[in-house]
Amino acid sequence: MFEKTVNKTKAWKKLEHHYKHFRKLQMKDLFAVDPDRAKKFSVNFDAMYLDYSKNRINDRTMKLLLNLARECDLENKIKAMFKGDKINVTEKRPVLHIALRNRANTPIYVDGKNVMPQINEVLAKMKKFSDAVRFGEFRGQTGKKLTNIVNIGIGGSDLGPVMACEALRKYWAKDINCYFISNIDGTACAEVLNKIDPETTLFIVASKTFTTIETLTNARTCRKWLVDALGEHAVAKHFVALSTNTKEVEKFGINPENMFEFWDFVGGRYSMWSAIGLIIAIAVGFENFERMLEGAYAMDQHFYNTDFEHNIPVILAMLGIWYNNFFGLHRYAVIPYDQYLQYVPMYLQQLDMESNGKFVAMNGEYVKYATGPVLFGGAGTNVQHSFFQLIHQGPEVVPIDFVIPAISHNEVGEHHEILVANVLAQGEALMRGKTVKEAAAELKKAGKSREEINYLKRFKSFEGNRPSNTIVFKKIDPYTLGMLIAMYEHKVFVQGVVWNVDSFDQYGVELGKQMALSILPELQGTAYGIGHDASTTSLIELIKKLRK
């Protein structure tokens, strides 16, 4: 455990001093004096290229940031995670999503037991079952092929599979359709059930304990829909479980042979590499699922073995700390310029904010510095017409990660060239900006009067000096998707180490859920006056009245 408060370290103090002298420097000036800047501040690894030259940094900035990582004992913390130490200290658990994609199959021990045999056993079971569904060997109650696959989960049991399936849509089997039910809102169930045929539908219920209220409520609704159509015996032919609770799975009517296990050493938001990814394997084929694991493994090895100066997750993490803790910029955006990656920002919201949105340090004391930032984003170029006004001219700067494949899966006319031109232009425009003088010259060239120029020139100017990273792939495929997501996982881990918070618990999720369970019987009329505040009590009464 890192006991020293990070903002009291020597490296932190040096960064504070460096920031005072550096904060007003302009990136465009740094580019002007250093023709090798783009080469110096970039990393080319395997199928990924990172350009981080459009950041408010110089050589000294990076040296100081990486010294901070070292002073926080990052190297040993990385080793501790990879060897299975219980780095989730509040829950006394190891953190081993890296074991799920350990393609070298080197032993990884938990409490003296190598976990790789059980991981490989589940992977083999996933392969056998996903192949059986895809090739029509595992069929429904009436003998029809199962072509509608419905994943019922929430949080990590939903966001990862949704994101990956959409990202790899081009790899789906032609006769497979994937659907996802997560929200407890009945509309989520109803809209999916209205689109599918019970005879050709397979439901995947993802709940480790098989007690998650949202997931089990949705699963029971789907079960009733199926039973009403095909009878009780159909449940075993149309439902499988991703769980560890054999008793409840059997009670539901699912054949325990069709129950896929995962483990406490894998947190929900890190679980798509496990049996939680079953719908991904069915949709794209197990070979492509394995390619995704291989891409993640390649990034794991890069993270574990590469010096910090060339380590992509470490560089991104420390740049984030530079802006969050020294510039006071507490939000950032991830913008993939690829329609297939449209759910990546939503997935990363959970990964980042659930991991590092903490106000208590590992030593049990309240932190006195910012931790996890707010993350938002969406697919480019759509977001250029929504929140990019704020990105360019809002008073608070928002650092950005741009993600772009060089080649599209759908090369239609000039579409992709226009898309790439846009992402490159955005990065350059955010960095360069446009001075008031430049804006005035443009207005004059456009034939505006002196009065119009004097009025409009500030509106048409851009501050610039706004940072961004550009992450380039040749093409989005299972391997590069695995690399991308593993990269962000490790980035979040590094920041948690520096901030000295437990990135792997999520107690903040629990309080609202606990209180909802106390309110539910009041809404149902089976309990009264449990002692809420006046606002909540009046809202309960209003909603009960409206429902009558």
- Cα 137 to Cα 128, 145, 262, 277, distances in angstroms: 10, 8, 25, 20
Query: Tens of pLDDT along the chain (548 residues)?
Result: 445 689 999 999 999 999 998 999 999 999 999 989 999 999 999 999 999 999 999 999 999 999 999 999 999 999 999 999 999 999 999 999 999 999 999 999 999 999 999 999 999 999 999 999 999 999 999 999 999 999 999 999 999 999 999 999 999 999 999 999 999 999 999 999 999 999 999 999 999 999 999 999 999 999 999 999 999 999 999 999 999 999 999 999 999 999 999 999 999 999 999 999 999 999 999 999 999 999 999 999 999 999 999 999 999 999 999 999 999 999 999 999 999 999 999 999 999 999 999 999 999 999 999 999 999 999 999 999 999 999 999 999 999 999 999 999 999 999 999 999 999 999 999 999 999 999 999 999 999 999 999 999 999 999 999 999 999 999 999 999 999 999 999 999 999 999 999 999 999 888 888 888 889 999 988 887 678 899 999 999 999 999 98
Which domain does 240 fall in, by range? 109-289
Read off the tokens for 394.
């809002």
Q: Are 228 and 193 in contact (CB under 8 A)?
A: no
Structure tokens at 301: 């090895």
Do 159 and 235 lie in one domain? The reply is yes
Tokens found for residue 23: 């904060």
For 454, the 3-state DSSP assignment is: helix
Are 147 and 248 found together in one domain?
yes
Are both 210 and 242 inside the same structural domain?
Answer: yes
Question: Which string of b and e fits 141-158 if b means at least 16 CB within 10 Å?
Answer: beeebbbbbbbbbbbbbb
User: Could you tell me if 229 and 269 lie in one domain?
Assistant: yes
pTM of the model: 0.96
pLDDT at 511: 86
Strand 201-206 and strand 239-242: the pairing is parallel
Q: Three-state SS for 207? A: coil
Read off the CATH number of the domain in which 327 is found.
Answer: 3.40.50.10490
Q: Does residue 161 fall inside a structural domain?
A: yes
Same domain membership, residue 365 and residue 258: no
Give the C-alpha separation, 534 to 515, whole Å: 15
Cβ within 8 Å of residue 70, ≥6 positions away: 11, 308
- Phi first, then psi: what are they for 233, rounded to 5°? -70, -15
Distance CA 160, CA 163 (A): 5
Q: What is the DSSP letter of 474?
A: S
Q: Are residues 141 and 209 in the same domain?
A: yes
Q: Looking at the domain assignment, is residue 297 inside a domain?
A: no
Residue 90 belongs to some domain of the structure: no
- Selection from 298, 312, 305 nearest residue 479 by Cα: 298
The two three-digit tokens of residue 76, written as one number: 């040993």
Residues 391 and 341 in one domain: yes
Count how many domains the chain has. 4
CA distances in angstroms from 111 to 82, 94, 243, 505, listed in the order given: 14, 10, 22, 20
Phi, psi of 139 (to 5 degrees): -120, 170
The reply to whether 205 and 275 lie within a common domain is yes
Residues 457 and 472 in one domain: no
Q: What are phi and psi of 547, to 5 degrees?
A: -70, -20
Same domain, 115 and 250: yes
Indicate if 43 and 131 belong to the same structural domain: no
Instruction: Give the number of other CB atoms < 10 A from CB of residue 422.
Output: 16
Same domain flag for 479 and 351: yes
Q: Is position 372 within any domain?
A: yes
**What is the SS3 assignment for 439?**
helix
Helix (H/G/I), strand (E/B), else coil: 173: coil
Known catalytic residues are 354, 385, 513
Is residue 310 within 8 Å of 194, Cβ to Cβ?
A: no
